[in-house]
């Protein structure tokens, strides 16, 4: 790769537009520079546009790039065994296998319940996939991490988080400063709902003795943990359903694999390595719609990325979303082609051409587990139902906390003809 000549730093003229962040960063990336300058919130910033520079920021020189640590470890004592493994807190192979099997069992149970609910809903009208996926993954993550089932709270929590995210996207700050008193009140109610669910989890998981109030810092840590886990995975699942519901060839091939590997029994963790095509489909979806789609860092000291001098105290952004759609790295980057992740085709890909869960020591600790989770959810859904898009209209993505489908995804779920998969505990 030809290096550009050294550039002299100057305040860049491009200003971030909060209303459509995904489009903003994609337009920046398409300028073609290795490192593209812009401004955000009155501050100087740079977008990394080459894999080797992303690797330097996230791995080889990560000590120079500040990022607030997430206090996952603060909750370590309260995680169930599956949760400990997901966050790399269980090191022994036997603990890992048991944790994965237990986590898979929880996941399949909730996914099967959700599939049956979606089939029932679809008998009357198309189901809203993005919200259903969030409710499902919220329950799965909470059960897996803390061993409690917030089924009765899932709709309220998902609605509250969605409203908070919309306020942030449309107004910059989701509080009374939005200039709309009614919206400000709704935002504050959503914060209260979010916090009360976290407090319920803390009490139910015995983090705090009954009758005692939950410390605000513990509420914040639980909320952040849930948002960083369920929201991203649920959005990924929604995009997965969106893709397969619109492509009959893709759906048929997945059904064939699930029927061959799983049949009419309950899917299990042991099936994950054998669901090879499902793995490629999940990985291709994560290429187009990565959960950690934009990563921000602040430089502690100066650095050099390629031919660009990076001063201290500026923002450096690394985007898997833009990198994983670069035509210089990917053939037909806008097309959904699962086969590009066949082992023989992935061998020559440069590091950090693909990094849907970030990189370095700050990489999403459960990222390696999320692909298997999505394979199992997909296998559970497809063993119970057929999925059909409710509309041929394309869905636009919005770059919020995750790459949210806009205005939403609707699909019909019909039971598989003559098939019944036995899930203990379900009618």
Query: Which of residues 173 and 228 earns the better pLDDT score?
Result: 228
Among 74, 94, 93, 211, residue whose Cα is nearest residue 145: 74
Using one digit for the tens of pLDDT, what is the confidence trace for 240-288?
Answer: 999 999 999 999 999 999 999 999 899 998 999 999 999 999 999 999 9
Dist. CA 233–CA 423, nearest whole Å = 23
Beta strands (DSSP E) in 306-346 are: 308-310, 315-318
Using one digit for the tens of pLDDT, what is the confidence trace for 173-211?
Answer: 444 455 567 777 888 898 899 999 999 999 998 888 888
Q: Which band of pLDDT confidence, cut at 50, 70 and 90, is reported for residue 138?
A: very high
Average pLDDT of every residue of the chain: 82
Q: How high is the pLDDT of residue 358?
A: 82
Q: Which band of pLDDT confidence, cut at 50, 70 and 90, is reported for residue 340?
A: very high
Share of the chain above pLDDT 90, in %: 48
Please give the model's pTM, rounded to 2 decimal places.
Answer: 0.84
Q: How high is the pLDDT of residue 6?
A: 42
Q: How high is the pLDDT of residue 163?
A: 84
Q: What is the mean pLDDT of residues 291-308?
A: 91
What's the length of the chain? 427
Q: Rounded to 5 degrees, what angle do the CA atoms 183, 292, 226 make?
A: 60
Query: Which of residues 2 and 117 earns the better pLDDT score?
Result: 117
Query: Which of residues 80 and 32 earns the better pLDDT score?
Result: 32
Query: Which of residues 357 and 424 earns the better pLDDT score?
Result: 357
Query: Which of residues 359 and 132 earns the better pLDDT score?
Result: 132
Q: How high is the pLDDT of residue 258?
A: 96
Q: How high is the pLDDT of residue 259?
A: 96
Q: What is the mean pLDDT of residues 95-108?
A: 67
Q: How high is the pLDDT of residue 364?
A: 66
- Enclosing H/E stretch for 244: helix 232-245
Cβ–Cβ under 8 Å, residues 366 and 85? no
Cβ burial 412-422 (10 Å sphere, 16+ → b, else e): bbebbeeeebe
Q: How high is the pLDDT of residue 238?
A: 93
CA 2 vs. chain centroid, Å, equals 34
Using the predicted structure, report yes or no on whether residue 123 has a pLDDT greater than 60: yes
- Enclosing H/E stretch for 397: strand 396-399
Q: How high is the pLDDT of residue 365?
A: 59
Q: How high is the pLDDT of residue 154?
A: 93
Dist. CA 23–CA 396, nearest whole Å = 10
Distances (CA, A) of 347 to 274, 291, 329, 343, 360: 20, 23, 13, 6, 20
CA 7 vs. chain centroid, Å, equals 35
- Which domains occur in the chain, in start order? 18-415 (1.10.630.10)
Using the predicted structure, report yes or no on whether residue 405 has a pLDDT greater than 50: yes
Q: Which band of pLDDT confidence, cut at 50, 70 and 90, is reported for residue 126?
A: very high
Query: Which of residues 362 and 319 earns the better pLDDT score?
Result: 319
Among 135, 107, 110, 123, residue whose Cα is nearest residue 415: 123
Q: What is the mean pLDDT of residues 305-319?
A: 94
Among 49, 37, 31, 28, residue whose Cα is nearest residue 9: 37
């Amino acid at each position: 790769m030809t290096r550009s000549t050294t550039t002299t730093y100057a305040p860049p003229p491009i200003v971030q537009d909060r209303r459509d962040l995904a489009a903003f960063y994609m337009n920046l990336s398409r300028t073609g520079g290795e490192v593209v300058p812009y401004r955000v919130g009155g501050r100087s910033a740079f977008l990394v546009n080459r894999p080797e520079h992303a690797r330097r920021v996230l791995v080889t020189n990560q000590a120079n790039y500040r990022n607030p640590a997430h206090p996952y470890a603060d909750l370590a004592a309260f995680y169930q065994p599956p949760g400990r493994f997901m966050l790399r807190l269980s090191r022994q192979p036997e603990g890992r296998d048991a944790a994965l099997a237990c986590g898979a069992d929880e996941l399949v149970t909730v996914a099967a319940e959700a599939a049956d609910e979606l089939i029932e809903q679809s008998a009357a009208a198309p189901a809203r996939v993005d919200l259903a996926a969030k409710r499902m993954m919220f329950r799965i993550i909470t059960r897996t991490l803390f061993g409690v089932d917030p089924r009765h709270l899932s709709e309220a929590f998902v609605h509250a988080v969605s409203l908070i995210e919309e306020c942030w996207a449309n107004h910059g700050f989701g509080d009374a400063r939005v200039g709309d008193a009614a919206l400000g009140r709704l935002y504050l109610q959503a914060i209260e709902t979010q916090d009360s669910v976290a407090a319920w989890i803390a009490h139910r998981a015995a983090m705090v003795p009954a009758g005692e109030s939950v410390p605000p810092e513990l509420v914040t840590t639980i909320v952040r943990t849930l948002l960083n886990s369920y929201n991203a995975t649920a959005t990924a699942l929604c995009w997965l359903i969106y893709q397969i519901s619109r492509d009959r060839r893709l759906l048929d091939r997945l059904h064939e694999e699930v029927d061959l590997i799983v049949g009419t029994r309950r899917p299990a963790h042991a099936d994950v390595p054998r669901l090879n095509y499902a793995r490629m489909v999940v990985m291709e979806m994560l290429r187009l719609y990565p959960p950690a789609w934009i990563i921000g860092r602040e430089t502690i000291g100066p650095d050099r990325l390629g031919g660009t001098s990076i001063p201290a105290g500026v923002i450096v952004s690394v985007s898997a979303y833009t990198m994983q759609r670069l035509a210089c790295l990917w053939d037909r980057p806008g097309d959904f082609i699962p086969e590009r992740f066949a082992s023989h085709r992935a061998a020559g890909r440069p590091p950090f051409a693909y990094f849907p869960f970030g990189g370095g020591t700050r990489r999403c600790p459960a990222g390696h587990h999320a692909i298997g989770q999505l394979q199992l959810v997909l296998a559970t859904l497809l063993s119970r139902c057929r999925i059909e898009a409710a509309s041929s209209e394309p869905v636009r993505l919005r770059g919020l906390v995750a790459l949210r489908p806009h205005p939403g995804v609707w699909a019909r779920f019909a039971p598989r003809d003559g098939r019944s998969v036995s899930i203990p505990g379900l009618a």
